[in-house]
Amino acid sequence: MRFIINIFQLILVAFWCIFCAAFGVLVMLVTWNSKLTVYFIAVKVFSPVVLWLSGVKLKIEGRENINKDQPFIYVANHESQLDIPVVCLATELPLFFIAKKELRKIPIVGWYMIAVGHIFIDRSNKERAQASMIKAAEMIKGGKNVISFPEGTRNKDGKMNIFKRGSFVIAKRGNIGVVPIAIKGTREVLASGSFMFHPGKVGVKIGTPVYPNEHPDLGIDDFANLLRNQVIDLRNQLP
């Protein structure tokens, strides 16, 4: 019986993803406003329904640390495909993702991501990766919030991977504040590589911004490790 319910959940989630992406392209064509489109689609339409269909009971801490008057780079640990709707709903911000280049090839979903201006990064090509980082910096200067999962891939054993440098290069060069976010419980609901949902509780804790000029003695790798440790500490505070 549980297997049948799970198949039904998968079909509904897949349908909702495709519908929201297609609707998002339409909204973008009508409004030509990427921030409004991302906020409406990701925060108000996509995320609440996906988490409800997945059986997620979300508890959010630290929302008072979000400053909507200036843009930041948000960094979070990555445990599940559900991390994206969780972060969107937790922050209630139009977040622009730094995503792997393969996602742009997905029909409809990739079109939506291209239309609104999410950033695709090719880590196998240093020049293209650097161009993506420059684009991200320009977006932030233009008032857009960027979200990154700097582990680069979903961790499968609960141990947080080393944070990759890209997001922190942007932060250091422009003295852009970095906000750590910890996620706990999404792996138990939908594990990496799995298509089986296990309804349960998910916790999110949002930390305070960290500015590079507050740590002038730290290089990029050490600054990335500082944020990684903050995410670990925040995660350990979640029940």
String of DSSP letters for 161-214: PPPPSHHHHHHHHHT--EEEEEEESHHHHS-TT------EEEEEEE---B-GGG
**pLDDT tens for the 239 residues of the chain, in order:** 778 889 999 999 999 999 999 999 999 999 999 999 999 999 999 999 999 999 999 999 999 999 999 999 999 999 999 999 999 999 999 999 988 888 889 999 999 999 999 988 887 777 887 888 888 888 998 999 999 999 977 766 778 999 998 899 999 988 999 999 999 999 999 988 788 999 999 999 999 999 999 999 999 999 999 999 999 999 999 99
160 neighbors 184 (Cβ within 8 angstroms): no
pTM here?
A: 0.93
Residues 6+ apart with CB under 8 A from 17: 46, 50, 109
Tell me the domain boundaries of the chain: 2-237
Quick check: helix, strand or coil at residue 151?
coil
How crowded is residue 56: how many other Cβ atoms within 10 Å of its Cβ? 24
Amino acid 195: pLDDT: 84
CATH class in words for 2-237: alpha beta
Amino acid in position 166: G
Task: Determine contact, residues 21/111, Cβ cutoff 8 Å.
Answer: yes
User: Sheet holding 56-61: strands in order across?
Assistant: 56-61, 200-206, 178-184, 73-76, 145-148, 95-100, 119-121
The DSSP element (H or E) to which 95 belongs, if any, is strand 95-100
